[in-house]
Structure 1
Amino acid sequence: MSVDEIDEMSPLFDAIYEGAKHLDLTLETLISEYGPGQYEMTIRYRNLMRAADDVIIAKRLIRTVARRFGTEAVFMPKPFGTEAGSGMHLHLSLADDAGNNLFADQADASLSPLMLNAIGGIRGTIGETMLLLAPFMNSWRRFASAMYSPASDDWGVENRTVALRVPGTPGKTRHFEHRIAGVDANPYLVAAVTLGAALDGIESKIDPGTPCTDEIGQAKAPNDLPRHWLDAIDQFGASDFNKRTLGPRFHTAFTKIKQAEYEHMALKVSAAEWEYYGFSI
C-alpha cells in the first residue's frame, strides 16, 4: 500500500484511535500489513482476561467505525485465497504479586526454565486445541500457504516460521508469542487452553525440546497436527485436556456444534467445484 493510500485512510484511523480512548482500549498501533486492505492492530498487554475483552471491544469498535465511513471491516482469517491470511497472535509473560517478570532471563542470560516449561506444555496440546485456534472452515485456508501462518507445533528464538516464538527482546522483558490462532478465534477460549497448557507444563516441568532454526522456505519436520477441519474436530472431541480445562459440558456441546457445522458446510457445493468439475468429468 502506498503512502498516499495510507494517508487516505487516516480519518478512519483517527476515529478508531479516538474511540479506543473512550473505551479504555490500549490500542498501540494500527498499520498497513502484507495483503491488500490488510492492517495489523497491536493492543498493549494486560492481564489475560482483560486482554481477551480488549480483542472483542476492538473488533466491535473497528467494525462500527468502518461502517460510518462507508466500508466494512472483515475478520475472516482468509478472505482472499491467494493473499496473506490474518492471525491473532498472543504474547505471554508471567508476573508475581510484585509485578516481576518470572519469564525474565537467568543471571547467565539463558532462557527461564519456567518459560521453557510453559512452552513445553503448550506444544504438547496444540494438536488437540487446533479447533479453538482455527474454529471454522475458512480458518483452514490460512494454513494452505505456510507464509506467516505456522501450521506446526515447533518453537524457536526470533524465528517467525514457528508456532511459539521467543522474540529477541531484552532479558528482563522476556516473553513468548503464540502465533497459530486466526483472527476468527474466540480470545477467551484461546486464553483458557493456552494458560491451562502453560500451567500444566510448569507443574510437570515439561521440556519443550530443541528450538527450531529453520528459515522461511525450508521444509518443516512432520508433525501430528490435524490437517483439516474435520480432523481438528475429532482431535478436540477425544481430548482429555480440553474436557478438563474447559469443563465436560462445554467440551461436549462445542464438539457437537462443530460436527453439525461441518456436516452443514459439507453440503455446500462451491463455484470452484463447478468450474473445475462441472462439465469436464
Structure 2
Amino acid sequence: MAKKKKPLSPTEQSRGVADAAAAIDWLAERGLEDIECIVPDMSGVARGKMMPVAKFVDAPTMSIPGSIFTQTITGDYPDDDDDFVIDSADSDIQLVPDYSTLAVVPWASDPTAQVIHDAYHTDGRPVDIAPRQLLRRIIGLYEHKGWKPIVAPEMEFYLVERNQDPDYPLKPPIGRSGRAESGRQSYSIAAVNEFDDLFDDIYDFSEAQGLEIDTLIHEEGVAQMEINLRHGDPLALADQVFLFKRTIREAAVRHNMYATFMAKPIANEPGSAMHIHQSVLSTETGANIFSTPEGAPTREFFNFIGGQQRYLPHVMCMLAPYVNSYRRLMRKSAAPVNVHWGYDNRTVGLRIPNSTPAARRVENRVPSSDANPYLAIAASLACGYLGMVEGVNPNDPVEGSAYDLEFGLPRGLLEALALFEDCDELAEPFGKAFRSTYRAIKHAEFETFMRVISPWEREYLLLNV
C-alpha cells in the first residue's frame, strides 16, 4: 500500500519558487488545474490571461497587447498628442513569470494558481511604462549607490453594503449584531468583531498566499479598517499590496458586502490612505543609513526628508491618482494638507515614528489607498533618493497641528499633472515614455469625469443660477 503524503502546511502551500522547473513540481504537487497569469496595469488592476496548468508549463512566456498599459480606469484609451503616440498596430509584448510570486488562489472554485509577470518587449527590453518595471528602475538607482530601500505599507479601506446603483451614496454594512455602525469606532475591538467571519477569511486567504499581516485595526471612519504589512523589499511589498487589495475585495463579496479602496468613498467620513514607512540600509553593512553607529540621525536621514518635502508635490498624480483622491486631502480630516514633517506627529505629511535607531524611518502619510502600490512606492522612494543625492535639507520640524498651516499639496488632478510634467529632476528616474503615457491616461480619465453632472450641481445650481 502506497504511503500517504504528509499534508503541506499553509506556508509550504503558499511559498513561491526559484525557477520554471521548481514551478512544475510545485503545481503538480498541489494538483492545481488552472493558473492566472497576471500583470498590474497603470491603475493597479490585474490584467492577463487564465489557462490550464499543462499549457502554462509548456509555454510560460506569453504574448499580450502592449495597450494594457495605456488603458484608463474606465476601459478607454487616451488620444494621441504631441508627446504620447498610440501604437496603431497594437503590437504584442511578452509577459515573463516571476516564479517567486507563485501562489494558490484560495477563493477559486477550481484548484487554481496565480503568478505575477513582468513585461518585456519582444527584443528583450523591459517595458519601461509597466508599473512593476518602473519600481525595479527606482530600486536600481538605490542599488547603484550601495543602498537598499525598505518599506512597510499600511492600507485603509471601507466595508460597505453592496451598491448596484452608483447614483446612491454608500452605506456601512450590517455586522453580526444585526445593526450597522452609527458612530466613529476608532481602534474598537468590538467593532472589528462585528465582521469576525470576514476577517477570518481574509487571514485564511492571506496565509494561503504567503501574505503577512502585521496588525489589523478599526480606523476612524464608520466600518473603516486598516491592515499593516511587515517591512521588507519594496517590490515584494508592492506585490503584497496588489494581492491584498484583490484578496480583501474577494473576501468581502463572499460576505455580501464590498471592500473599497476609494480615497473618499463617503462624504462625511475620513478618507482612506496608504501610508508608506521608509528606511534605507547599506548593502555593504546591512545597517540603517538613517542612524549613526552611536544612534544619532544622519545627514542622509535629513536629506531624505528634504527630498520628500521638495518633490512629493510633483509626484502627487501617482500618490493621489484620481479626481476623487483630492477629496481626501481636506483640513482636519485625518489627512495631511502639506509636506511638513515632525516627530510622532500625525498631522503632517511626513511623520517620524518613535523607534530605535536601527528602525529609524520616515512615514509618508500623503498617498491615498486608491494609488497603484508600485507607482506610489516608486514615486515616494524617488523623492527620497533625489533628496539624498542632491543634499536637500528639510525645514524645521513642526510641533503641534499642521492642519492649519498653508496647503503644500496640489488641490486637484490637473494641477498635480502639471507639477509632474514641469519637474525636470524627475525626467531621469521616470523616463520620457512613462511620463507622457501616464499624463495622457490621467487627462483622458479627467475628461470622462467632466461628462458627469454631480448631485452638488443639481442641488445648488439647478434652480438658483
Query: TM-score, length-normalised on structure 2?
Result: 0.57
Matched, 1:11 2:197: yes
Q: Distance in 2 between matches of 1:279 and 1:207?
A: 53
SS in 2 for 1:169: coil
**1:195 and 2:381 are equivalent in the alignment:** yes
Shift, 1:7, TM fit: 2.1
What's the counterpart of residue 256 of structure 1? Answer: 440
**Higher Cα Rg: structure 1 or 2?**
2
Other-structure match for 1:227: 411
From 100, 119, 122, the equivalent of 2:287 is 100
Which structure is higher in RCO with an 8 Å CA cutoff and minimum separation 6? 1
Range with bigger deviation, 258-267 or 48-57: 258-267
Deviation, structure 1 residue 221:
3.6
Question: 1-side partners of 2:302 and 2:463: how far apart?
Answer: 55
The runs of 5 or more residues in structure 2 that have no matched partner are 1-184
Cα separation, 2, equivalents of 1:92 and 1:72:
30
Determine helix, strand or coil for the equivalent of 1:156.
strand
For the 8 Å contact 2:342–2:352, the answer to whether it is kept is yes
Q: Deviations over 1:43-95 (max 9, x none)?
A: 11111111111111110111111111111111101001110110000000111
Gaps of 5+ in 1: none
2:171 corresponds in structure 1 to: none
- CA shift, 1:12, in A, is 1.1
- Corresponding residue of 2:244: 58
- For the pair 1:70 / 2:281, whether they are aligned, the reply is no
What per-residue deviation string (whole Å, max 9, x for no partner) do you get for residues 223-269 of structure 1? 3x322222112212222233322110110011111112212212211
Rounded to whole Å, the distance in 1 between the matches of 2:429 and 2:250 is: 34
CA–CA distance in 2 between the matches of 1:55 and 1:241?
A: 28
Higher helix share: 1
Write the letter of the residue equivalent to 2:400: D
Is the contact made by 2:306 and 2:392 (CA closer than 8 Å) also made in structure 1? yes
TM superposition shift of 1:172? 2.3
Q: How does 1:149-228 map to 2 (within 5 A)?
A: 149-215=335-401, 219-221=404-406, 223=408, 225-228=409-412
Matched-pair contact (CA < 8 Å) for 2:319–2:376: yes
Does the CA contact (< 8 Å) of 2:308 and 2:387 recur in 1?
Answer: yes
Once superposed, what is the RMSD of the aligned Cα atoms?
A: 1.7
Instruction: Check 1:112–1:31 CA distance in 2 against 1; reply closer, same or farther (3 A cut).
Output: same
TM-score after normalising by structure 1: 0.93
- Equivalents in 2 of 1:258, 1:244: separation in Å? 21
Give a deviation string over 1:140-195, Cα, whole Å, max 9, x none: 10013442210201111111111111111122211110110000011111122222
For 2:268, give the aligned amino acid. T
State, as a whole percentage, how many aligned pairs show the same letter. Answer: 34
Query: Whole-Å Cα distance in 2 between the matches of residues 95 and 110 of structure 1?
Result: 15
Higher strand share: 2
Residue by residue over 1:98-156, the C-alpha shift from the partner in whole angstroms, topping out at 9 and shown as x without a partner, is: 4322223562x532221111111111111211111111010010013442210201111
CA contact (8 A) 1:28 1:44 kept: yes
Q: What residue is the counterpart of 2:431 in the other structure?
A: 247
Q: Distance in 2 between matches of 1:10 and 1:36?
A: 16
